[in-house]
């Protein structure tokens, strides 16, 4: 499944990016993420590993992630692996006058019975 969104935010790319790359800030706007933890951080951020807990309707699952692309104030991408799915997410920021255009692309691949249930949904 692919999901793409583009929004314009009345703020600078630097400020918008700081909400994407900082796990403590990101958890504030990603409502399903209840906990996040950096496991190992690399100097250039690419290869940084992390873990997060995602909860919905009182049920939670752990996802392990790795940063796959990082250009300060411009791009951030990561790969997440969990029991039920894998997710590749990328964020691209572009200055548009006084605004920042934020583009998100996500590709979700479901595993096991979750995948089978989606075939019949």
Instruction: Report how far residue 62's alpha carbon sits from residue 71's, in angstroms, rounded to the nearest whole number.
Output: 26
**Banded model confidence at residue 113, pLDDT cuts 50, 70, 90:** low
Domains defined along the chain, listed by start: 2-119 (3.30.530.20)
Instruction: Report how far residue 64's alpha carbon sits from residue 77's, in angstroms, rounded to the nearest whole number.
Output: 14
Pairing state between β 59-71 and 49-56: antiparallel
Instruction: Report how far residue 110's alpha carbon sits from residue 9's, in angstroms, rounded to the nearest whole number.
Output: 31
Q: Do residues 22 and 28 make contact, with C-beta atoms less than 8 angstroms apart?
A: no
- pLDDT tens by residue, 46-99: 999 999 999 988 888 999 999 999 999 999 999 999 998 999 999 999 999 999
**Banded model confidence at residue 116, pLDDT cuts 50, 70, 90:** very low
What pTM value is reported for the model? Answer: 0.87
Instruction: Report how far residue 63's alpha carbon sits from residue 119's, in angstroms, rounded to the nearest whole number.
Output: 23
- pLDDT tens by residue, 8-57: 999 999 999 999 999 888 889 888 899 999 999 999 999 999 999 999 88
């Amino acid at each position: 499944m692919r999901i793409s969104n583009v929004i314009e935010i009345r703020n600078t790319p630097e400020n918008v990016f700081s909400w994407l790359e900082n796990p403590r800030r990101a958890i504030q706007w990603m409502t399903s993420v209840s906990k996040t933890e950096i496991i190992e951080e690399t100097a250039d951020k690419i290869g940084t590993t992390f873990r997060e807990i995602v909860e919905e309707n009182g049920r939670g699952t752990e996802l392990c992630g790795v940063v796959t692309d990082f250009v300060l104030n411009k791009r951030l991408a990561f790969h997440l692996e969990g029991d039920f799915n894998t997710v590749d997410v990328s964020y691209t920021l572009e200055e548009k006058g006084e605004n920042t255009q934020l583009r998100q692309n996500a590709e979700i691949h479901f595993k096991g019975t979750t995948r089978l249930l989606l075939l019949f949904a």
